[in-house]
Chains A and B, each alone.
Chain A
Amino acid sequence: MSTSERDHERGDQRERTSHGSFGEYGGQYVPEAVMPALQELEDAYERYVLENEDGFMDEFRERLRDFGGRPTPLQRADRLSERYGREIYLKREDLVHGGAHKLNNALGQVLLAKYMGKERIVAETGAGQHGTATAMAAAHLDVPCEIYMGRTDVNRQRPNVYRMRMNGAQVNPVDAGSGTLKEAINETMRDWSTTVETSHYVIGSVVGPHPFPAMVRDFQAVISDEAREQLLESAGRLPDTVIACAGGGSNTMGAFDAFIPDADVDLVAVEAGGSSLEIDEGDGIAPNSATLSTGSDGVLHGAMTKLLQSDDGQIMESHSVSAGLDYAGVGPELSHLVETGRVRPVNVDDETALEAFHRLSTLEGIIPALESSHALGYLERAAGPAAKTSNEQHAQEAAEEGLGDLVVVNVSGRGDKDLETVLEETEARDLAAAPDVEVFDS
């Protein structure tokens, strides 16, 4: 698509985000102290991102290319195509500098903070992927940076903690609650409400108060802008289905954005089904992070959206084998797109994701992030050999869903950060697709 067409659609999107709301979702539910900062950010977003004032977007695109390594390939996956009996293309966000799509947003926001004259960056991180990307962008652009990360995530994502520190960021472990993303966000909000006059909070997904969901989507839209163009060039047509995993939903929105006006393209958001979809109300624990499939409307971290919550309104502890999907909320625009039927929410469990992790690694020589493995796990469930032969519920569902002949899967990141978790989890189970992991014991 030409740039002018693209800009035209951007105009439509602004319509969609008027007053910071996507249908009944979105808004700005934050302490009063940060409201003026949100107004300042909204103003900067409109001028620099939407209007390209001072050539901001030009500089952003140039840095995405030279520092970030964009465009990423849209690769035809031969053995997956064979396995699933249709054309499977992988959008290789694992090849972005840092190893995940997260850099697209982090670079955009740190650059914007510089244009706004902010002196300091704070950010939260779950998998550590966003923290790593933010630390890299902050080092690249020479801005001091402090990152909050839940204690549980610090323990399961060590390599990323080291990487953040190598890039000069301060990493603050958060001990509250279950020590995952939700607690890290709370703590970063607190820091920000104290330092709001000089700091910018780089939110890591399409969540939080307006303008974050719209702005992060715009920075991530480069994924689908490229994929759409690349596919038109190589296959000469649009895909039947685009599949992406959804934690907060930033790679999801990034992979979907350019296809939203293409009504024939099926958009599938794959959430973490964890170990079960059942919820233990008494303990306030959801053994999954399937917000779009099972959540209800409420307000968390600055926005009205779908949430995992008790009947009383307490936010549940969520679970996923993948740290980056382990969040009780989801972006408000994604909630809206699910509500209107444009995006189809599905979920796969920990085991299916782990199997998909091994499958892509052995079949294609690509080690995907555990987050991305959820998207690949759904592909197996909907179109794999079992789906063809068995008539269990999933297979039936898949037949009804019909992925079509041309499918794009967003590989949001690479799995190096997950190796320890994968070894541990694989050893504890009997996985069909897994190699022998006992050789790693010594």
Chain B
Amino acid sequence: MSDDRDDSSDRPAVDSEIEAAIYENHPALIAYITAGDPSLEDTKAYVEALDRGGADLIELGLPFSEPIAEGPTIQGAINRALAAGTTPAGFFDLVDGLETDAPLLVMTYYNMLLQFGAEADVRPFVERAADAGISGVIVPDLPAEEAEPLCAACDEFGLDVVFIVAPTTEGDRLETIMSRASGFVYVQARLGTTGARADVSSATHDSLERLEGHSDVPKAVGFGVSKGDHAAEIVEAGADGVIVGSALVDIVAAHGSDGDAPAAADLEEKARELKAGAERAAADADATDGEQERTPEPEHP
């Protein structure tokens, strides 16, 4: 947690609920769904189902009309959410009413942060997110080079800024990103956009290796994960967490808007399968290799 953090970065240490949740529930399951798909009411039920199913962190997408980092699945969810009239105000009302064990992150595009409030400034958004109990933000179109204003606002209100590391990220840029990272580092398993795939990218292993020794912020892998076996592979490769989005959005989409109960049950079951996959790999690793250096152990009894 923040006390254990390598404080070489010049950001003041924040008390990170996100890191705590990952270490205490290691290896962690991080679940994404789009808020407002098909309605904010449904989203409430889905988030609670994911929480029951074992998600350790939940990323809520605040829909933006031009989601350039998303593939067709999440773009579809965003379109449905926007068509249903999802607004930032409605989004925060939803979050105000959520009670989950898993800390929440908001994932959205930079313009949504800038436009919340009167001036083109991210601070009002971060303040409102903090108010609603959100623990961190992920902004896929905000590279570290442009992130100073967001980092400053998040430091002020105690939120983590989760940065993405891509297969193309190397050298100085990798260093810069890792020195700013808080909460966890989002390791993008492959180039391209989000979307469930049939297999885990072979780039995952290399990516995790490249990050070694840079920072002890937890590393979570996403982009394409859809099954318990994928989760197991990713944890075997050394990840502290597994991020799943499109596979969950697919479940939401399959149910449409004909009542949330069956969709919620399926989401809960999917979360169980993914979490079990991650835990199976961790247990195997412990059994076969006791000495192998691992991420800090959970401090919980």
| Cβ-defined partner of A29 (8 Å) among B79, B141, B193 | B141
Residues of A within 8 A of B75 (CB): 176
Residues of B within 8 A of A30 (CB): 68, 141, 143
Contact between B191 and A299 (Cβ–Cβ < 8 Å)? no
Q: Which of A70-103 contact B (CB under 8 A)?
A: none
Among B107-115, B230-238, B260-268, the stretch that binds chain A is B107-115
Q: Which of B176-197 contact A (CB under 8 A)?
A: 177, 188, 191-193
Contact between B193 and A299 (Cβ–Cβ < 8 Å)? no
Q: How far in angstroms is the closest Cβ of chain B from A424? A: 29
Among A215-223, A261-269, A312-320, the stretch that binds chain B is A312-320
Residues of A within 8 A of B112 (CB): 312-313
Residues of B within 8 A of A309 (CB): 111, 115
Taking residues whose C-beta sits less than 8 angstroms from the other chain, chain A's interface range is 35 or more
A30 to B109, CA, bound (A): 10
The answer to whether the Cβ of A430 comes within 8 Å of any Cβ in the partner chain is no
| Cβ-defined partner of B163 (8 Å) among A29, A32, A315 | A32
Among A33-41, A344-352, A358-366, A431-439, the stretch that binds chain B is A33-41
Contact A32-B68, Cβ < 8 Å, known A190-B193, A196-B168, A312-B87: no
Interface centre among A29, A284, A309 (most CB of B within 10 A): A29
Contact between A36 and B114 (Cβ–Cβ < 8 Å)? no
Contact between A312 and B66 (Cβ–Cβ < 8 Å)? no
Q: Which of B71-98 contact A (CB under 8 A)?
A: 71, 75, 79, 82, 87-88
Q: How far in angstroms is the closest Cβ of chain B from A143? A: 20
Contact between A182 and B143 (Cβ–Cβ < 8 Å)? no
Count CB-based A-B contacts (< 8 Å): 114
The answer to whether the Cβ of B3 comes within 8 Å of any Cβ in the partner chain is no
The answer to whether the Cβ of B169 comes within 8 Å of any Cβ in the partner chain is yes
Contact between B82 and A314 (Cβ–Cβ < 8 Å)? yes
Contact A31-B68, Cβ < 8 Å, known A36-B168, A298-B111, A311-B115: yes
The digit string for A190-207, where 1 denotes a CB below 8 A from any CB of B, is: 100111110000000000
The answer to whether the Cβ of A297 comes within 8 Å of any Cβ in the partner chain is yes
| Cβ-defined partner of B173 (8 Å) among A35, A193, A196 | A35
Q: How far in angstroms is the closest Cβ of chain B from A306? A: 11
Contact between B111 and A299 (Cβ–Cβ < 8 Å)? yes
| Cβ-defined partner of A194 (8 Å) among B68, B111, B191 | B191
How many B residues touch A, CB cutoff 8 Å? 40
Residues of A within 8 A of B164 (CB): 31-32
Residues of B within 8 A of A34 (CB): 168
Interface centre among B67, B143, B164 (most CB of A within 10 A): B143
A284 to chain B: closest residue by CB: B65
A33 to B64, CA, bound (A): 20
Q: Which of B135-182 contact A (CB under 8 A)?
A: 140-143, 145-146, 163-170, 173, 177
Interface centre among A36, A196, A302 (most CB of B within 10 A): A36
Contact A193-B169, Cβ < 8 Å, known A186-B66, A312-B87: no
A301 to B163, CA, bound (A): 19
Provide 21 A-B residue pairs closer than 8 Å at the C-beta atoms, listed in order of the A residue.
Answer: A27-B146, A29-B142, A31-B166, A33-B168, A33-B169, A35-B145, A35-B173, A36-B170, A37-B168, A186-B66, A189-B68, A190-B68, A197-B168, A296-B120, A298-B120, A299-B111, A302-B141, A312-B87, A313-B64, A313-B114, A314-B65
Mark A residues whose CB is within 8 Å of B: 27-37, 39, 176-177, 182, 186, 189-190, 193-197, 284, 296-302, 307, 309, 311-315
Known A-B contacts: A297-B114, A297-B120. Give 4 more (CB < 8 A): A29-B142, A307-B111, A313-B88, A315-B66
